[in-house]
């Protein structure tokens, strides 16, 4: 395997020990540990960059978290190198650092190789679960004070959420097969009869903005596993499929018989959504 100088960025020393043990086969000499702070991500990223330069580190590793992923991505941008988040394993192959991570919402694993001298990664917590905490490291030199942030935190307020699809037992989702925003009422009527929540595909929430983000199902939305998932006018692209693949029963309605969603639907109806919806309501009854 290759030999790299490693910098670990983590808040807890126990986590740092696990990361050090994971990186030990890659390391050349000691591993340096920089304790994560509580500043804004851009300030923390500057500190990571400075500490890495002082240590001569070529591999920068942090545990995966919302802030950790942002800090390391920002650090990679400052260093002008790539960043792999949520890595499952690390290795050195043909003189390059490689990392495996889940892709397409977890239905496959990709192997990524860094072409640059410096590699920045975050490691999935699941990959650290069985790792001993006995990894050795030394403290990093204190980096120079980071510049003041470009933004100021005034206050924090929780976002009001109208729905939590991850807890829903029944979901009726729709996509571009619904032609007009006012036609959502027909979807809502079906959902009401079933006692279901309303979901949607990415274009509906992100592009058309017909529904708030919390209704979006997919890799960039909610990952759901209801007892019943009805997909109305959704083609079934991998981004959406990864978010609802664990549903117990999947029913698909689409006017394109070659739509990908029919490949994994338990029940499929090929037809005009505007004809099928009233028929479904009638069949369900009161």
CA 222 to chain CA centroid, nearest Å: 10
Digit-coded pLDDT (tens) for 227-240: 999 999 999 998 89
Q: How much of the chain, in percent, has pLDDT values that exceed 70?
A: 94
Helix (H, G, I), strand (E, B) or coil at 261: helix
Q: What is the mean pLDDT of residues 18-34?
A: 86
Contact at 8 Å (CB) between 180 and 274? no
Question: For the structural domain made of 165-284, what CATH number should be given?
Answer: 3.40.50.1220
Q: Where along the chain do its domains lie?
A: 6-139, 165-284
Does residue 225 surpass a pLDDT of 50?
Answer: yes
Cβ neighbours of residue 129 closer than 8 Å, sequence gap 6 or more: none
In CATH, which superfamily holds the domain spanning 6-139? HUPs (3.40.50.620)
Q: State the Cα–Cα distance between residues 269 and 262, nearest whole angstrom.
A: 9
Q: What is the mean pLDDT of residues 27-38?
A: 84
Cβ neighbours of residue 26 closer than 8 Å, sequence gap 6 or more: 1, 2, 3, 4, 6, 59, 90, 91, 92, 97
- Tell me what pLDDT residue 149 has: 65
Domain 6-139 and domain 165-284 have a common topology: yes
- pLDDT category at 1 given cuts 50, 70, 90 is very low
Digit-coded pLDDT (tens) for 65-92: 999 999 999 999 999 999 999 999 999 8
Digit-coded pLDDT (tens) for 79-132: 999 999 999 999 988 778 999 998 877 778 999 999 998 999 999 988 988 788
CA 91, 105, 208, 265: dihedral to nearest 10 degrees?
150
Does residue 223 surpass a pLDDT of 80?
Answer: yes
The arrangement of strands across the sheet holding 96-103 comes to 108-113, 96-103, 83-93, 119-123, 59-63, 6-10, 32-35, 138-139
């Amino acid at each position: 395997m290759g030999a790299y100088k490693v910098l670990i960025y983590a808040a807890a020393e126990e986590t740092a020990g696990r990361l050090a043990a994971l990186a030990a086969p890659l390391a050349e000499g000691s591993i340096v540990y920089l304790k994560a702070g509580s500043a804004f991500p851009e300030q923390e990223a500057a500190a990571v960059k400075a500490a890495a330069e002082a240590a001569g580190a070529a591999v920068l590793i942090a545990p995966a978290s919302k802030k950790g992923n942002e800090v390391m991505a920002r650090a990679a941008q400052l260093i002008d190198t790539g960043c792999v988040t949520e890595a499952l394993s690390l290795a050195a192959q043909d003189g390059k650092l490689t990392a495996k991570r889940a892709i397409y919402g977890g239905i496959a694993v990709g192997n990524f190789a860094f072409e640059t001298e410096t590699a920045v990664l975050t490691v999935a917590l699941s990959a650290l679960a069985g790792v001993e905490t006995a990894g050795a490291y030394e403290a990093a030199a204190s980096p120079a004070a980071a510049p003041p942030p470009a933004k100021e935190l005034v206050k924090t307020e929780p976002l009001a959420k109208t729905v939590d699809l991850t807890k829903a037992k029944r979901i009726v989702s729709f996509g571009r097969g619904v032609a007009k925003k006012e036609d959502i009422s027909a979807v809502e009527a079906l959902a009401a009869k079933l006692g279901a929540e309303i979901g949607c595909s990415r274009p509906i929430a992100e592009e058309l903005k017909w529904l708030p983000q919390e209704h979006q199902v997919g890799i960039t939305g909610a990952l759901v596993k209801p007892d019943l998932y009805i997909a109305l006018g959704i083609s079934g692209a991998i981004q959406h499929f990864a978010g609802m693949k664990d549903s117990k029963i999947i029913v698909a309605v689409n006017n394109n018989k070659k739509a990908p969603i029919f490949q994994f639907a338990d029940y499929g109806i090929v037809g005009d959504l505007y004809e099928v919806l009233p028929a479904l309501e009638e069949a369900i009854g009161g």
